[in-house]
Amino acid sequence: MTTTLRVAIIGTGFMGRMHAHAWRTAPRFFELDPSPEVVVLAGSDASRAASAATEFGIPSSSDDWRAVIARDDIDVIDICTPGHTHTEIALAALAAGKHVLCEKPLANSAEDADRMAAAAEGAAADGTVAMCGFSYRRTPALSLARRLIEDGRIGRIRHVRAQYLQDWLSDEDAPYTWRLDRELAGSGALGDIGAHSIDTAQWLAGSLITGVSATTRTFVETRPRMDERVGLGGRGDTAAPRERVTVDDAAAFTAAFADGALGVFEATRMASGHRNANRIEINGDRGSIAFDFSFMNELQFHDALAPSGEQGFRRIDATEPEHPYAGAWWPPGHGLGYEHLFTHQVVDFVRAIAGGGDAHPSFAEAAQVQHVLEAIERSAADESRFTAVEGAGS
Amino acid sequence: MTTTLRVAIIGTGFMGRMHAHAWRTAPRFFELDPSPEVVVLAGSDASRAASAATEFGIPSSSDDWRAVIARDDIDVIDICTPGHTHTEIALAALAAGKHVLCEKPLANSAEDADRMAAAAEGAAADGTVAMCGFSYRRTPALSLARRLIEDGRIGRIRHVRAQYLQDWLSDEDAPYTWRLDRELAGSGALGDIGAHSIDTAQWLAGSLITGVSATTRTFVETRPRMDERVGLGGRGDTAAPRERVTVDDAAAFTAAFADGALGVFEATRMASGHRNANRIEINGDRGSIAFDFSFMNELQFHDALAPSGEQGFRRIDATEPEHPYAGAWWPPGHGLGYEHLFTHQVVDFVRAIAGGGDAHPSFAEAAQVQHVLEAIERSAADESRFTAVEGAGS
Amino acid sequence: MTTTLRVAIIGTGFMGRMHAHAWRTAPRFFELDPSPEVVVLAGSDASRAASAATEFGIPSSSDDWRAVIARDDIDVIDICTPGHTHTEIALAALAAGKHVLCEKPLANSAEDADRMAAAAEGAAADGTVAMCGFSYRRTPALSLARRLIEDGRIGRIRHVRAQYLQDWLSDEDAPYTWRLDRELAGSGALGDIGAHSIDTAQWLAGSLITGVSATTRTFVETRPRMDERVGLGGRGDTAAPRERVTVDDAAAFTAAFADGALGVFEATRMASGHRNANRIEINGDRGSIAFDFSFMNELQFHDALAPSGEQGFRRIDATEPEHPYAGAWWPPGHGLGYEHLFTHQVVDFVRAIAGGGDAHPSFAEAAQVQHVLEAIERSAADESRFTAVEGAGS
Amino acid sequence: MTTTLRVAIIGTGFMGRMHAHAWRTAPRFFELDPSPEVVVLAGSDASRAASAATEFGIPSSSDDWRAVIARDDIDVIDICTPGHTHTEIALAALAAGKHVLCEKPLANSAEDADRMAAAAEGAAADGTVAMCGFSYRRTPALSLARRLIEDGRIGRIRHVRAQYLQDWLSDEDAPYTWRLDRELAGSGALGDIGAHSIDTAQWLAGSLITGVSATTRTFVETRPRMDERVGLGGRGDTAAPRERVTVDDAAAFTAAFADGALGVFEATRMASGHRNANRIEINGDRGSIAFDFSFMNELQFHDALAPSGEQGFRRIDATEPEHPYAGAWWPPGHGLGYEHLFTHQVVDFVRAIAGGGDAHPSFAEAAQVQHVLEAIERSAADESRFTAVEGAGS
């Protein structure tokens, strides 16, 4: 007899819609016990919350997230709000004994993230599961890469090379949004997309970044203010009043990994022609893996132990039963899309709850990413000097 | 006030699961009125139907599709059974005044398909909508290709080049399935995947195939019989008794289009290394488009009117708001997967019902594909001689 | 002590220039004994021959190819003239005891080609070497493909898929040239580029084509006549008088190979956007190889015996010492270009002379290609009916 | 009446062979007056020089480069020796009034490079031409990129992203060579291949690097010593005595350009699977260009001013008459190889001599690259702190 896991989503934006779809889809393709069910959607505005609930297919809504957390019949709080609100909500949810899935970045500061990690560690003793939504870990091709690396197939790692390239701010009249406000967003390309690269890189490499040398740029210092919320890629009215951008447009840094590998990272929203190129390559002494989210169903794998004259990067179509997550879906060669990452995230989260085990990335792991981000900003402010990453949670 | 469109799915296999997901997902991302809801799943075996209904998230099940069709509270019959059953079910559904969505191939013979087309034409007078599920038409990149071609961007068409390459039968011990039985499947690679190429090619080119010269091959004449249902790509036991394969493993044909274009087609399940490479390219006197389902989110477009020295195939990431279907989903560059085709198919079908308009491909269009398949088989049986396609529905 | 091999080139066009470069370059990168030296260039026009000799770096010229063949101090006749002159020159050269390298197509008819093959067979008894210039065989990546196939790495072959796509006639006002005159050129895309695909396919597969089903098209029936010789890709004056095109613009055919494989071929000069896409793919029951001349330094190889979950086409950069021809050139990853095929051709031809051995493709092999071309034209003229290839040289 | 330009090559290794081929080939495909001719090859060892002259097709040899420079009948000194000898030879050649073509890096130190630049500047008054051999500038696709950027097609530049990835030292037992000795080679991957990226980036961007933040790595600190000269990619004997590596295996740095662009660079010999991936991408506010030497005949170009919904990187096959250098060679789509860069370099050098004009990169420009390299090493030694590039030649 399957039990039900009752979920509340906080946040009515793009990510709320995505999570609602993932919770709805996961039990249809994966065996899950308990079986999740989103019962309420909370947002700050009652009217928006109600209409979003209807759109997202959620039976009820609320404009009071604290009241939702207080409900006894809710098992999971799924936080899909902007980053500056994560800490308060997550701490309240953990205090109320709820399992928590929190979108990335975990918080807008390492200090806040550490507090969340500490709370999660305390709650774990009671079997409460807390996880941060670095969804790219759930790409089948990247999970396959992780498996190959764990199995020693690329040997000792020397190079990590990650680029996250977008271009929705390339036009200098692209409109101002909350994502360009340091108070709300924490940082710009760095925290929004660079954080994904950092998490993916450390997870794949199985080694943490210990120090960085960084630089950031804000190429366009003011942008036209829109009266209404404007979507990604919108274009501004040149006559509009302009708002000051207080975050980075781009960040670049080199990184030292604990195991000796050298990382080169770049995150930008100004790489004209790249809508969402999330790329990573890792070179070891026995081979390499390479991935580009523009081709999210494939992994490039080079085996340096293959016979001389027969070597080369091979394109593995990671849609076969042998590949992580893929067997639950369609026949080989029938690719998955972006949203499947979130469905897989739900699956792993629910299974951690069911098994009483750990969910990854844990809040502590996500807090460590926040410490890397902070080291990057300190280095950038200090003439790019090599700057050690402070111990997460310490 | 949104009304509800009540749907019954017939068929408990892979396609039933897919359609259930599409019906569930469509109203969450597209505005649909009426809003569809799958209320019952029918299958030939009561126990299998019941368990599949639970898996697929459908509230009830039945082992009697005739009884389902007879229900007054059902608006749509969605046929996801093997091809040899389509005609009987569709004719019954149309006779009962239901809208019908029927998986491809429409039927296993042109004669059956013509009967279905005639019935659909008769029912259309009462506002009944019938559509065949050639889902690849709903790929955003291919819809974009269609739009570019309609807008004259590649000019007069000379070449159509389509390959549908799979490899799940490449191993001569891959097990026997119903898809290898002519009685049940109609044909092999030809009808299963070649039919997709034919529909896509005619739709994109905006011109019908008038004649073909064809050849087919069955490379592996017997295969090991499994006791249980075996999935795609499974491997046989060499000691098992072997069953005779009565369909083609591969088909190749050249085609004359009504507008003078020359088509070259190939469909095979024996192209080692290609899990599901559905490719099409069209060359006109002003440009070309090229597509490979392995990279389903992108369209290659060559504009021969671009300045000399600046020409080249450009890779359009068809995930932007300007692209067909794409605006309903995620930000640019966050790709879609195979299942989105079916969600889009539901959207177009429901909108046709709502608007009282035509749904494409209509049964008549799908019957014409069946006539092309029949011409191919006649040509292959007649020393590849050029063979005219008989008029569909006539 | 190295001896010298004295070479005469007949033909002052693009191919004459190419061969002159190849003869000059080969001994600088490969150990050759005898070492070749081009001593005279012959053309039909004395003035053009003299200026071309200067351009090509050849010390003398002649307007009388018969006189050149008669010279005792010439060892090799290298025929780079249009196809309709090959037979007469080659027969004379063989009769005079010269080694002969003849550009493809060997002749404009199978009958002529057979006469040349018979003469070459007779001359072979005296150690005279005759070879036809199907240069693509000398691409390192394709030679590597040949080696892999010979070694059984792709197993028994099922599919051969070859496309040779150009677009220099896509514009309907591209000017008339001798290549569009059946009398001079024999055929159009079929003999010019389709012949390359046929030779490459048979050589790689290790199996001959026994029959074909074909169709051809002439999309543009007249073209503007230029007063002067016009290069490829030139554009015509729409007011110019138009000349009738008497060859095909495109040819498509399916082919039966002796070993049971199914071939699908297409050759066209109207594939907008493809300047010179010479592609071939072969699928066997143990793997596949794929090649595109647009990326001439790489071979795609799929090994179906690789572990499940790790399979995929691998991109082999065929520029390593282990790869055919490549070791003579630059460090790995420093690619070769089109002209290297001709340098390699010279190397193989000279070594055949030195070793007293066979040179491939022999005139007999090239004549067999001519028989395939003839079968294609017969099939195209007979409603695409399957047409057997007549035995070459018989 | 064409005059002759008499050339002496100094250096009997891989680069001497390459240059000899380029001098021989250039006048066969490009109109050059004066027409160059290599008359002597000089090396430190008489026997090796003599045998190399024979191999390279050069009529005489010498073991005394000073004597060669002293000859009145020599017009050009072409320096192909290891970097630590460049300064002495070039200064002597310039003092003797010879035109000088010097392989990169110009010198092993910025100080030496500045002396060479000063000497070249002085000699220029007499019409003497000095040029450094950053050959990648002569790739047609990159020259096309330069033209597009100069024409404003990508607008104001924000990002420069360059990677030069090799893997011939990835095996920790790959043998020791002079390239791993700081005294002879100056630096490792940094100066050998990173220097190419720096020159290409600054030339394409039309802007100089003003400061850098850098890190370097030597992953393998000792390597087996071979008794004989060992080629690239050889593998060592693990029992052999090991020699200390005194140069970097890899270097990574961010760079500030004078015009505000942000550069991210990486050069390594340890990127397993990449034989010679020389990549660069530049993003401006109106578009982008991207290049990978593994596909040296193509340029990726994104035009951000193209209509919305039709944008995308287009693959320009830079082999057409409209493209730099390409018209001198083969028909469109028949690609060039690595060696063509050197042939084009000779062409530009000879034309500068003929025209009395400047040759690029001048010694001053090459010396500036050396200053960037020095700034990189200083930054790497100073905790990656941002370090200004000192003015070249000042």
CB contacts, 8 Å: C268 with chain B = 158-159, 283
Q: How far is D364 from chain B (nearest CA, A)?
A: 32
pLDDT at D2: 76
Candidates D310, D311, D322: best to mutate against B (most CBs of B within 10 A) is D310
| Cα-based distances in Å from A364 to A119, B329, C159 | 10, 32, 54
User: What residues does B281 pair with on adjacent strands?
Assistant: B161, B290
| Cα D302 off chain centre by | 27
Residue A147 lies in a domain: yes
pLDDT at C358: 83
pLDDT at B238: 61
A211/D309 Cα distance (integer angstroms): 41
pLDDT at A392: 43
A85/A43 Cα distance (integer angstroms): 12
Name the nearest CA neighbour of A365 among A88, A129, A134, A158.
Answer: A134
Is residue D372 scored above 50 in pLDDT?
yes
A385/A387 Cα distance (integer angstroms): 6
Of C264, C283, C284, Cβ closest to residue B264: C264
Say which residue the tokens 């040759």 belong to.
D359
Who contacts D80 (Cβ-Cβ below 8 Å, separation ≥6)? D9, D10, D11, D13, D15, D16, D18, D19, D103
Where chain A has pLDDT below 70, the residues are: 1, 227-238, 392-394
Residue B283 lies in a domain: yes
CB contacts, 8 Å: B171 with chain C = 285, 304
Do B178 and B209 lie in one domain? The reply is yes
Listing DSSP states for C300-325 in one string gives EEEETTSPTTS--EEEEE--STTSTT
pLDDT at D391: 79
* Phi, psi torsion values for A275, nearest 5 degrees: -70, -40
CB contacts, 8 Å: A296 with chain B = 335
Is residue C93 scored above 70 in pLDDT?
yes
Do A34 and A125 lie in one domain? The reply is yes
Q: How far is C191 from chain B (nearest CA, A)?
A: 19
Residue A51 lies in a domain: yes
pLDDT at C370: 97
C105/C193 Cα distance (integer angstroms): 9
pLDDT at B227: 59
Residue D382 lies in a domain: no
Minimum CA–CA partner of C277 in chain D: D333
Arithmetic mean of pLDDT, D277-283? 98
Do B122 and B245 lie in one domain? The reply is no
Candidates D218, D262, D279: best to mutate against A (most CBs of A within 10 A) is D262
Task: Answer whether B294's CB lies under 8 Å from B153's CB.
Answer: no
Q: How far is C237 from chain D (nearest CA, A)?
A: 19
Q: Is D312's CB within 8 Å of B311's CB?
A: no
CATH number at residue B314: 3.30.360.10
pLDDT at C122: 96
Whether the CA torsion B70, B73, B79, B82 is positive or negative: it is negative
Task: Give D220-257 pLDDT, tens digit per residue.
Answer: 999 998 755 444 434 545 677 999 999 999 999 999 99
Per the structure, the count of domains in chain D is 2
Do D145 and D127 lie in one domain? The reply is no
Q: Is B154's CB within 8 Å of C272's CB?
A: yes
pTM: 0.96
Arithmetic mean of pLDDT, D259-274? 98
The subunits that touch chain A, with at least 3 C-beta pairs less than 8 Å apart, are B, C, D
A350/A360 Cα distance (integer angstroms): 12
Do A179 and A167 lie in one domain? The reply is yes
pLDDT at A373: 98
Residue B101 lies in a domain: yes
Single-letter residue type at C282: I
Q: How far is A257 from chain B (nearest CA, A)?
A: 29
Q: Is B273's CB within 8 Å of C288's CB?
A: yes
Who contacts A236 (Cβ-Cβ below 8 Å, separation ≥6)? A171, A173, A174, A175, A176, A223, A224, A226
Of C110, C136, C162, at which residue does a domain stop? Answer: C136
Give the pLDDT band of residue C240 (cuts 50, 70, 90): confident
Give the E-state strand segments of chain C in sequence order: 4-10, 35-42, 61-62, 76-79, 99-103, 130-133, 157-165, 209-217, 222-224, 242-244, 250-257, 262-268, 277-284, 287-292, 298-303, 313-317, 387-388
Is residue C179 scored above 70 in pLDDT?
yes
pLDDT at A235: 52
pLDDT at C394: 40
Q: Is D294's CB within 8 Å of C333's CB?
A: yes
Do B16 and B94 lie in one domain? The reply is yes
Do B120 and B156 lie in one domain? The reply is no
Q: How far is B272 from chain C (nearest CA, A)?
A: 6
Task: Answer whether A253's CB lies under 8 Å from A213's CB.
Answer: yes
Of A24, A274, A330, Cβ closest to residue B338: A330
User: How many Cβ atoms sit within 10 Å of the Cβ of residue B337?
Assistant: 20
Range of the structural domain that residue B79 is part of: 4-136+361-368
Give the pLDDT band of residue C225 (cuts 50, 70, 90): confident
Q: What is the mean pLDDT of each run of 10 residues along chain B (394 residues)?
A: 92 96 97 97 97 97 98 98 96 98 95 98 95 97 98 98 98 94 94 97 98 98 74 54 96 98 98 98 98 97 96 98 96 96 98 90 98 98 97 50
D68/D83 Cα distance (integer angstroms): 19
Q: Is B254's CB within 8 Å of C252's CB?
A: yes
CATH number at residue C20: 3.40.50.720
Chains A, B: CB contacts within 8 A come to: 112
pLDDT at C393: 40
Do C121 and C145 lie in one domain? The reply is no
Q: Is C271's CB within 8 Å of B159's CB?
A: yes
Who contacts D103 (Cβ-Cβ below 8 Å, separation ≥6)? D11, D15, D79, D80, D81, D83, D86, D132, D133
Q: How far is D314 from chain A (nearest CA, A)?
A: 10
pLDDT at D238: 61
Residue D267 lies in a domain: yes
Do D132 and D185 lie in one domain? The reply is no
Do D257 and D169 lie in one domain? The reply is yes
Per-chain mean pLDDT for chain C: 94
Residue D319 lies in a domain: yes
Q: How far is A8 from chain B (nearest CA, A)?
A: 18
Of A163, A250, A287, Cβ closest to residue D272: A287
Q: Is A159's CB within 8 Å of D254's CB?
A: no
Do B124 and B181 lie in one domain? The reply is no
Of A309, A315, A317, Cβ closest to residue C323: A309
Of C112, C136, C160, at which residue does a domain stop? Answer: C136
Say which residue the tokens 């053309």 belong to.
C43
Task: Answer whether C101's CB lies under 8 Å from C16's CB.
Answer: no
User: How many Cβ atoms sit within 10 Å of the Cβ of residue D107?
Assistant: 28
pLDDT at B235: 52
Q: Is D316's CB within 8 Å of B301's CB?
A: no
Q: HSE, CB side, 13 Å, CA atoms: give it for residue B144.
A: 30
Q: Is D317's CB within 8 Å of B316's CB?
A: no
Of C159, C250, C272, Cβ closest to residue B271: C159
CB contacts, 8 Å: B141 with chain D = none
pLDDT at C173: 94
Do D111 and D199 lie in one domain? The reply is no
Residue C394 lies in a domain: no
pLDDT at A1: 61
Of A119, A136, A153, at which residue does a domain stop? Answer: A136
Candidates B144, B146, B295, B310: best to mutate against D (most CBs of D within 10 A) is B310
Q: Where are the alpha helices (DSSP H) in B46-136?
A: 46-56, 65-70, 86-95, 110-124
pLDDT at C201: 98
- Residue A280, class by beta-carbon neighbours within 10 Å (0-12 exposed, 13-18 middle, 19+ buried)? buried
Name the nearest CA neighbour of A191 among A260, A265, A258, A122.
Answer: A265
Q: How far is C42 from chain A (nearest CA, A)?
A: 42
